[in-house]
A and B are shown apart, each in its own frame.
Chain A
Amino acid sequence: MATTAIPSETSPRSAAWPGALLVMGRVALGLIFLYAAYAKLHFEGEWHLRDYHFFFAMAIDSYKMLPISAVQIMARVLPWFELALGGLLIAGVAVRWIGSITSALLLVFIGAMTRAKILGLEINCGCFGNNEKLGTATLIRDSSLLFLALAVTIGAFLIKKRQDKVSS
Protein backbone atom coordinates (compact mmCIF):
# COMPACT_ATOMS: atom_id res chain seq x y z
CA MET A 1 0.00 0.00 0.00
CA ALA A 2 1.39 3.29 -1.02
CA THR A 3 1.66 5.98 1.59
CA THR A 4 1.73 9.70 1.05
CA ALA A 5 3.71 12.01 3.28
CA ILE A 6 1.63 14.78 4.76
CA PRO A 7 3.35 18.09 3.99
CA SER A 8 3.94 20.19 7.08
CA GLU A 9 4.74 23.88 7.37
CA THR A 10 7.90 23.17 9.32
CA SER A 11 9.77 19.91 9.58
CA PRO A 12 10.50 18.62 13.13
CA ARG A 13 14.21 19.38 12.70
CA SER A 14 13.70 23.01 11.61
CA ALA A 15 11.12 23.51 14.36
CA ALA A 16 13.64 22.38 17.00
CA TRP A 17 16.57 24.72 16.28
CA PRO A 18 14.93 27.97 17.46
CA GLY A 19 14.33 26.22 20.78
CA ALA A 20 17.93 25.03 20.86
CA LEU A 21 19.19 28.54 20.19
CA LEU A 22 16.96 29.85 22.94
CA VAL A 23 18.56 27.34 25.31
CA MET A 24 22.01 28.48 24.19
CA GLY A 25 21.01 32.12 24.69
CA ARG A 26 19.64 31.66 28.19
CA VAL A 27 22.54 29.44 29.26
CA ALA A 28 25.05 32.00 27.97
CA LEU A 29 23.19 34.82 29.75
CA GLY A 30 22.98 32.69 32.89
CA LEU A 31 26.72 31.99 32.81
CA ILE A 32 27.48 35.69 32.38
CA PHE A 33 25.32 36.50 35.41
CA LEU A 34 27.00 33.75 37.42
CA TYR A 35 30.37 35.21 36.46
CA ALA A 36 29.21 38.75 37.42
CA ALA A 37 28.24 37.43 40.87
CA TYR A 38 31.46 35.44 41.20
CA ALA A 39 33.61 38.49 40.33
CA LYS A 40 31.94 40.46 43.13
CA LEU A 41 32.52 37.72 45.68
CA HIS A 42 35.96 36.50 44.59
CA PHE A 43 38.74 38.97 43.80
CA GLU A 44 42.41 39.63 44.52
CA GLY A 45 42.82 35.86 44.36
CA GLU A 46 40.45 34.92 47.20
CA TRP A 47 36.83 34.68 48.32
CA HIS A 48 35.45 37.76 50.09
CA LEU A 49 32.20 36.33 51.45
CA ARG A 50 32.45 38.38 54.65
CA ASP A 51 33.59 41.71 53.26
CA TYR A 52 32.57 41.80 49.57
CA HIS A 53 29.79 44.28 50.34
CA PHE A 54 32.20 46.99 51.53
CA PHE A 55 33.98 47.05 48.17
CA PHE A 56 30.83 46.70 46.10
CA ALA A 57 29.09 49.44 48.12
CA MET A 58 31.97 51.80 47.28
CA ALA A 59 31.57 50.95 43.58
CA ILE A 60 27.78 51.51 43.67
CA ASP A 61 28.15 54.74 45.63
CA SER A 62 30.49 56.17 43.01
CA TYR A 63 27.45 56.44 40.68
CA LYS A 64 26.07 59.07 43.12
CA MET A 65 22.49 57.90 42.67
CA LEU A 66 21.39 56.38 45.97
CA PRO A 67 21.57 57.26 49.67
CA ILE A 68 24.25 55.38 51.62
CA SER A 69 21.70 53.14 53.40
CA ALA A 70 20.26 51.99 50.04
CA VAL A 71 23.78 51.53 48.64
CA GLN A 72 24.69 49.25 51.55
CA ILE A 73 21.58 47.11 51.15
CA MET A 74 22.05 46.86 47.38
CA ALA A 75 25.72 45.91 47.81
CA ARG A 76 24.79 43.04 50.12
CA VAL A 77 21.91 41.73 48.00
CA LEU A 78 22.84 42.26 44.34
CA PRO A 79 25.59 39.61 43.93
CA TRP A 80 23.26 36.93 45.36
CA PHE A 81 20.39 38.18 43.19
CA GLU A 82 22.64 37.90 40.11
CA LEU A 83 23.67 34.43 41.24
CA ALA A 84 20.00 33.40 41.54
CA LEU A 85 19.10 34.88 38.15
CA GLY A 86 22.04 33.11 36.52
CA GLY A 87 21.14 29.79 38.11
CA LEU A 88 17.46 30.06 37.15
CA LEU A 89 18.31 31.02 33.57
CA ILE A 90 20.61 28.02 33.21
CA ALA A 91 18.05 25.72 34.81
CA GLY A 92 15.37 27.06 32.47
CA VAL A 93 12.94 27.87 35.27
CA ALA A 94 10.19 30.37 34.35
CA VAL A 95 12.32 31.68 31.51
CA ARG A 96 9.78 34.29 30.41
CA TRP A 97 9.63 35.92 33.83
CA ILE A 98 13.28 35.49 34.77
CA GLY A 99 14.19 36.85 31.32
CA SER A 100 11.94 39.86 31.91
CA ILE A 101 13.52 40.55 35.32
CA THR A 102 17.01 40.16 33.84
CA SER A 103 16.17 42.58 31.01
CA ALA A 104 14.76 45.11 33.47
CA LEU A 105 17.86 44.81 35.69
CA LEU A 106 20.17 45.33 32.71
CA LEU A 107 18.09 48.31 31.63
CA VAL A 108 18.61 49.86 35.08
CA PHE A 109 22.38 49.16 34.90
CA ILE A 110 22.65 50.72 31.44
CA GLY A 111 20.61 53.74 32.57
CA ALA A 112 22.95 54.27 35.53
CA MET A 113 26.05 53.85 33.36
CA THR A 114 24.75 56.23 30.69
CA ARG A 115 23.93 58.82 33.35
CA ALA A 116 27.44 58.49 34.81
CA LYS A 117 28.98 58.91 31.34
CA ILE A 118 26.84 62.00 30.65
CA LEU A 119 27.86 63.50 34.01
CA GLY A 120 31.50 62.74 33.19
CA LEU A 121 32.04 60.63 36.32
CA GLU A 122 35.44 58.92 36.24
CA ILE A 123 34.36 55.76 38.03
CA ASN A 124 34.54 52.00 37.93
CA CYS A 125 31.74 50.08 36.31
CA GLY A 126 31.30 47.61 39.18
CA CYS A 127 29.84 45.14 36.67
CA PHE A 128 32.41 42.35 36.72
CA GLY A 129 34.53 43.03 39.78
CA ASN A 130 35.54 46.29 41.37
CA ASN A 131 38.37 47.53 39.19
CA GLU A 132 36.93 47.85 35.73
CA LYS A 133 36.72 51.44 34.54
CA LEU A 134 33.39 52.62 33.15
CA GLY A 135 33.75 53.47 29.47
CA THR A 136 32.18 53.13 26.06
CA ALA A 137 33.29 49.49 25.80
CA THR A 138 31.52 48.57 29.05
CA LEU A 139 28.37 50.35 27.85
CA ILE A 140 28.45 48.47 24.52
CA ARG A 141 29.00 45.19 26.34
CA ASP A 142 26.08 45.71 28.71
CA SER A 143 23.87 46.85 25.82
CA SER A 144 24.75 43.58 24.01
CA LEU A 145 23.73 41.72 27.17
CA LEU A 146 20.41 43.58 27.21
CA PHE A 147 19.92 42.67 23.53
CA LEU A 148 20.55 39.01 24.42
CA ALA A 149 18.23 39.15 27.45
CA LEU A 150 15.45 40.69 25.36
CA ALA A 151 15.92 38.09 22.62
CA VAL A 152 15.71 35.28 25.20
CA THR A 153 12.62 36.81 26.84
CA ILE A 154 10.72 37.49 23.61
CA GLY A 155 11.76 34.09 22.24
CA ALA A 156 10.47 32.36 25.38
CA PHE A 157 7.14 34.19 25.11
CA LEU A 158 6.79 33.31 21.38
CA ILE A 159 7.62 29.65 21.91
CA LYS A 160 5.10 29.46 24.73
CA LYS A 161 2.50 31.09 22.49
CA ARG A 162 3.20 28.58 19.72
CA GLN A 163 2.98 25.67 22.15
CA ASP A 164 -0.37 26.96 23.44
CA LYS A 165 -1.62 27.28 19.85
CA VAL A 166 -0.58 23.69 19.00
CA SER A 167 -2.14 22.24 22.15
CA SER A 168 -5.43 24.05 21.62
Chain B
Amino acid sequence: MKSHPVRQLAVLTLAALCAVATAICATAQTKAPTPASAKADAQAANPNFVKAIGNPNAPITMEVFGDFQCPACRGFFEGTTKQVIDDYVIPGKVYLIHRDFPLEMHPYARQAARLANAAAEFGQFEAIERALYDHQDEWSAKGNIDEVIASNFPAAQFKKFQTFETQHISEINASIERDRALGMQRNVNQTPTIYITAHGKTEALPGGGVDYKLLKSYFDYLLRQ
Protein backbone atom coordinates (compact mmCIF):
# COMPACT_ATOMS: atom_id res chain seq x y z
CA MET B 1 0.00 0.00 0.00
CA LYS B 2 1.37 3.41 -1.00
CA SER B 3 1.58 5.84 1.93
CA HIS B 4 0.90 9.48 1.29
CA PRO B 5 3.45 11.98 2.76
CA VAL B 6 0.78 14.57 3.58
CA ARG B 7 -1.24 11.93 5.41
CA GLN B 8 1.83 10.82 7.33
CA LEU B 9 2.41 14.44 8.37
CA ALA B 10 -1.17 14.79 9.42
CA VAL B 11 -0.79 11.77 11.68
CA LEU B 12 2.43 13.31 12.98
CA THR B 13 0.62 16.59 13.69
CA LEU B 14 -2.10 14.72 15.59
CA ALA B 15 0.55 12.91 17.65
CA ALA B 16 2.31 16.21 18.38
CA LEU B 17 -0.99 17.79 19.45
CA CYS B 18 -1.56 14.93 21.91
CA ALA B 19 2.02 15.25 23.22
CA VAL B 20 1.65 19.02 23.69
CA ALA B 21 -1.70 18.65 25.46
CA THR B 22 -0.25 16.02 27.81
CA ALA B 23 2.88 18.07 28.51
CA ILE B 24 0.86 21.24 29.20
CA CYS B 25 -1.41 19.38 31.61
CA ALA B 26 1.65 17.92 33.36
CA THR B 27 3.31 21.28 33.84
CA ALA B 28 0.20 23.32 34.60
CA GLN B 29 1.26 25.80 37.24
CA THR B 30 -0.63 26.58 40.39
CA LYS B 31 -1.32 30.23 40.95
CA ALA B 32 0.37 31.63 44.03
CA PRO B 33 -2.00 33.47 46.34
CA THR B 34 -1.42 37.22 46.35
CA PRO B 35 0.26 37.99 49.66
CA ALA B 36 -1.15 40.56 51.99
CA SER B 37 0.74 43.69 52.97
CA ALA B 38 4.38 42.87 53.60
CA LYS B 39 4.67 45.36 56.43
CA ALA B 40 1.74 43.81 58.27
CA ASP B 41 3.31 40.38 57.75
CA ALA B 42 6.65 41.66 59.06
CA GLN B 43 5.06 42.69 62.31
CA ALA B 44 2.92 39.59 62.62
CA ALA B 45 5.62 37.10 61.67
CA ASN B 46 8.45 38.63 63.69
CA PRO B 47 7.20 40.34 66.81
CA ASN B 48 10.67 40.20 68.40
CA PHE B 49 13.19 39.25 65.77
CA VAL B 50 12.85 41.96 63.14
CA LYS B 51 15.47 41.25 60.51
CA ALA B 52 14.94 44.43 58.57
CA ILE B 53 16.96 47.42 57.44
CA GLY B 54 15.72 50.93 56.75
CA ASN B 55 12.64 53.02 57.26
CA PRO B 56 9.44 50.97 57.77
CA ASN B 57 7.51 53.85 56.17
CA ALA B 58 9.54 53.77 52.94
CA PRO B 59 7.39 53.77 49.77
CA ILE B 60 8.76 50.37 48.71
CA THR B 61 9.21 47.25 50.81
CA MET B 62 11.49 44.50 49.56
CA GLU B 63 11.25 41.09 51.21
CA VAL B 64 13.92 38.51 50.56
CA PHE B 65 13.30 34.87 51.45
CA GLY B 66 16.86 33.72 51.87
CA ASP B 67 19.10 30.96 53.16
CA PHE B 68 22.50 32.05 54.51
CA GLN B 69 24.19 28.92 53.13
CA CYS B 70 22.71 29.25 49.63
CA PRO B 71 25.29 30.38 47.02
CA ALA B 72 22.60 32.10 44.90
CA CYS B 73 21.56 34.11 47.99
CA ARG B 74 25.15 35.17 48.53
CA GLY B 75 25.42 36.14 44.84
CA PHE B 76 22.23 38.18 45.14
CA PHE B 77 23.40 39.81 48.37
CA GLU B 78 26.86 40.68 47.02
CA GLY B 79 25.70 41.78 43.56
CA THR B 80 22.36 43.41 44.26
CA THR B 81 21.34 43.80 47.91
CA LYS B 82 24.47 45.75 48.95
CA GLN B 83 23.79 48.31 46.19
CA VAL B 84 20.09 48.41 47.07
CA ILE B 85 21.07 49.22 50.68
CA ASP B 86 23.40 52.03 49.58
CA ASP B 87 21.13 53.55 46.90
CA TYR B 88 17.60 52.93 48.18
CA VAL B 89 17.51 51.69 51.79
CA ILE B 90 19.80 54.31 53.35
CA PRO B 91 18.04 57.21 51.51
CA GLY B 92 14.72 55.88 52.91
CA LYS B 93 13.18 54.73 49.62
CA VAL B 94 13.16 50.99 50.35
CA TYR B 95 12.49 49.02 53.52
CA LEU B 96 14.41 45.75 53.31
CA ILE B 97 13.10 42.70 55.17
CA HIS B 98 14.92 39.39 55.45
CA ARG B 99 12.83 36.22 55.79
CA ASP B 100 14.50 33.04 56.92
CA PHE B 101 13.92 30.21 54.50
CA PRO B 102 16.67 27.67 55.36
CA LEU B 103 16.65 24.84 52.83
CA GLU B 104 16.95 21.21 53.96
CA MET B 105 19.88 20.66 51.58
CA HIS B 106 22.01 23.15 53.55
CA PRO B 107 22.92 21.59 56.92
CA TYR B 108 24.21 24.81 58.55
CA ALA B 109 21.61 27.24 57.21
CA ARG B 110 19.42 27.00 60.31
CA GLN B 111 22.39 27.48 62.64
CA ALA B 112 23.36 30.63 60.69
CA ALA B 113 19.76 31.85 60.79
CA ARG B 114 19.66 31.40 64.58
CA LEU B 115 22.80 33.52 65.00
CA ALA B 116 21.35 36.18 62.65
CA ASN B 117 18.12 36.30 64.68
CA ALA B 118 20.09 36.70 67.90
CA ALA B 119 22.18 39.52 66.39
CA ALA B 120 18.99 41.17 65.10
CA GLU B 121 17.79 41.43 68.68
CA PHE B 122 20.79 43.72 69.34
CA GLY B 123 20.22 45.81 66.20
CA GLN B 124 23.08 44.08 64.38
CA PHE B 125 21.18 42.30 61.62
CA GLU B 126 22.79 44.17 58.73
CA ALA B 127 26.28 43.54 60.11
CA ILE B 128 25.73 39.84 60.71
CA GLU B 129 24.07 39.37 57.31
CA ARG B 130 27.13 40.92 55.63
CA ALA B 131 29.48 38.77 57.71
CA LEU B 132 27.57 35.55 57.03
CA TYR B 133 27.45 36.09 53.26
CA ASP B 134 30.96 37.54 52.95
CA HIS B 135 32.42 34.50 54.73
CA GLN B 136 29.98 31.85 53.47
CA ASP B 137 32.73 29.75 51.88
CA GLU B 138 34.66 29.63 55.14
CA TRP B 139 31.88 28.32 57.39
CA SER B 140 29.62 26.40 55.00
CA ALA B 141 31.98 23.44 54.65
CA LYS B 142 32.37 22.58 58.36
CA GLY B 143 29.65 24.61 60.03
CA ASN B 144 32.15 26.52 62.22
CA ILE B 145 29.98 29.64 62.05
CA ASP B 146 30.80 31.14 65.44
CA GLU B 147 34.53 30.67 64.90
CA VAL B 148 34.45 32.39 61.50
CA ILE B 149 31.96 35.17 62.27
CA ALA B 150 33.24 36.12 65.75
CA SER B 151 36.19 38.05 64.30
CA ASN B 152 33.77 40.51 62.65
CA PHE B 153 32.42 41.76 65.98
CA PRO B 154 33.88 42.94 69.29
CA ALA B 155 34.30 39.86 71.51
CA ALA B 156 31.88 41.13 74.18
CA GLN B 157 29.17 41.87 71.64
CA PHE B 158 29.50 38.49 69.93
CA LYS B 159 29.33 36.81 73.34
CA LYS B 160 25.99 38.59 73.88
CA PHE B 161 24.66 37.13 70.60
CA GLN B 162 25.73 33.65 71.64
CA THR B 163 24.26 33.96 75.12
CA PHE B 164 21.00 35.33 73.77
CA GLU B 165 20.83 32.52 71.21
CA THR B 166 21.34 29.87 73.90
CA GLN B 167 18.79 31.41 76.27
CA HIS B 168 16.11 32.03 73.63
CA ILE B 169 16.65 29.08 71.32
CA SER B 170 12.98 28.04 71.25
CA GLU B 171 11.73 31.58 70.45
CA ILE B 172 14.36 31.93 67.74
CA ASN B 173 13.42 28.58 66.21
CA ALA B 174 9.78 29.62 66.33
CA SER B 175 10.64 32.87 64.54
CA ILE B 176 12.47 30.96 61.79
CA GLU B 177 9.52 28.60 61.45
CA ARG B 178 7.11 31.54 61.14
CA ASP B 179 9.17 32.92 58.27
CA ARG B 180 9.30 29.50 56.64
CA ALA B 181 5.56 29.04 57.05
CA LEU B 182 4.96 32.43 55.43
CA GLY B 183 7.17 31.36 52.54
CA MET B 184 5.34 28.06 52.15
CA GLN B 185 2.04 29.94 52.19
CA ARG B 186 3.34 32.07 49.31
CA ASN B 187 4.60 28.99 47.41
CA VAL B 188 8.26 29.98 47.79
CA ASN B 189 10.18 27.07 46.27
CA GLN B 190 13.69 28.46 45.89
CA THR B 191 16.01 31.02 47.42
CA PRO B 192 16.37 33.88 47.07
CA THR B 193 12.73 34.69 46.35
CA ILE B 194 11.93 38.39 46.37
CA TYR B 195 8.66 40.21 46.94
CA ILE B 196 8.21 43.90 46.27
CA THR B 197 5.39 45.84 47.90
CA ALA B 198 4.54 49.33 46.66
CA HIS B 199 1.34 51.34 46.24
CA GLY B 200 -0.53 48.67 48.24
CA LYS B 201 0.38 45.84 45.87
CA THR B 202 2.81 42.97 46.41
CA GLU B 203 4.54 41.40 43.41
CA ALA B 204 6.77 38.33 43.33
CA LEU B 205 9.91 38.71 41.25
CA PRO B 206 11.18 35.74 39.24
CA GLY B 207 12.99 33.44 41.68
CA GLY B 208 16.74 32.98 41.89
CA GLY B 209 17.84 36.59 42.25
CA VAL B 210 17.76 39.69 40.11
CA ASP B 211 20.44 41.84 38.49
CA TYR B 212 20.85 45.22 40.22
CA LYS B 213 20.33 47.27 37.04
CA LEU B 214 16.98 45.60 36.37
CA LEU B 215 15.85 45.97 39.97
CA LYS B 216 16.94 49.60 39.95
CA SER B 217 14.90 50.34 36.82
CA TYR B 218 11.86 48.70 38.48
CA PHE B 219 12.36 50.69 41.73
CA ASP B 220 12.74 53.93 39.76
CA TYR B 221 9.54 53.14 37.88
CA LEU B 222 7.69 52.48 41.16
CA LEU B 223 9.02 55.67 42.72
CA ARG B 224 7.86 57.69 39.69
CA GLN B 225 4.28 56.43 40.07
Q: Are A147 and B16 in contact (CB under 8 A)?
A: yes
Q: Are A141 and B23 in contact (CB under 8 A)?
A: yes
B residues 169-213 near A (Cβ < 8 Å) are: 187, 189-190, 201, 203-211, 213
B37 to A: closest C-beta gap in Å: 14
Contact with A along B1-42 (1 / 0, CB 8 A): 000111101111110110111111011010010100000000
Contact with B along A144-166 (1 / 0, CB 8 A): 11011001101100110010000
For residue A128, which residues in chain B have a CB less than 8 angstroms away from its CB?
Answer: 29
Q: Are B20 and A141 in contact (CB under 8 A)?
A: yes
- B205's nearest neighbour on chain A, judged by CB, is A58
Q: Are A151 and B16 in contact (CB under 8 A)?
A: yes
Q: Are B9 and A154 in contact (CB under 8 A)?
A: yes
Q: Are B221 and A58 in contact (CB under 8 A)?
A: no
For residue A72, which residues in chain B have a CB less than 8 angstroms away from its CB?
Answer: 214, 217
Q: Are A21 and B221 in contact (CB under 8 A)?
A: no
Q: How many A-B contacts are there with CB distance less than 8 Å?
A: 133
Q: Are A61 and B10 in contact (CB under 8 A)?
A: no
B38 to A: closest C-beta gap in Å: 14
A68 to B190, CA, bound (A): 23
For residue B153, which residues in chain A have a CB less than 8 angstroms away from its CB?
Answer: none
Interface residue count for B (Cβ, 8 Å)? 43
Whether A25 touches B214, Cβ cut-off 8 Å, given contacts A59-B206, A144-B23, is no
B225 to A: closest C-beta gap in Å: 9
Q: Are B10 and A147 in contact (CB under 8 A)?
A: no
Q: Are A22 and B13 in contact (CB under 8 A)?
A: yes
Q: Are B207 and A123 in contact (CB under 8 A)?
A: yes
Contact with B along A19-44 (1 / 0, CB 8 A): 00110110010001000000000001
B176 to A: closest C-beta gap in Å: 22
Whether A144 touches B19, Cβ cut-off 8 Å, given contacts A58-B210, A61-B214, A138-B27, is yes
A2 CB-CB contact with B under 8 Å: no
Q: Which of A49-57, A77-85, A90-98 contacts B (4 or more CB under 8 A)?
A: A49-57
Q: Are A140 and B23 in contact (CB under 8 A)?
A: yes
Q: Are B26 and A158 in contact (CB under 8 A)?
A: no
For residue B9, which residues in chain A have a CB less than 8 angstroms away from its CB?
Answer: 18, 22, 151, 154-155, 158
B122 CB-CB contact with A under 8 Å: no
B204 to A: closest C-beta gap in Å: 6
- A68's nearest neighbour on chain B, judged by CB, is B213
A126 to B29, CA, bound (A): 12
A12 CB-CB contact with B under 8 Å: no
A14 to B69, CA, bound (A): 63
Can you report 17 A-B residue pairs in the complex whose CB atoms are below 8 A from each other? A17-B10, A18-B7, A18-B9, A18-B10, A21-B11, A24-B14, A44-B201, A51-B221, A55-B203, A58-B214, A58-B215, A72-B214, A126-B206, A133-B189, A133-B190, A137-B27, A141-B24
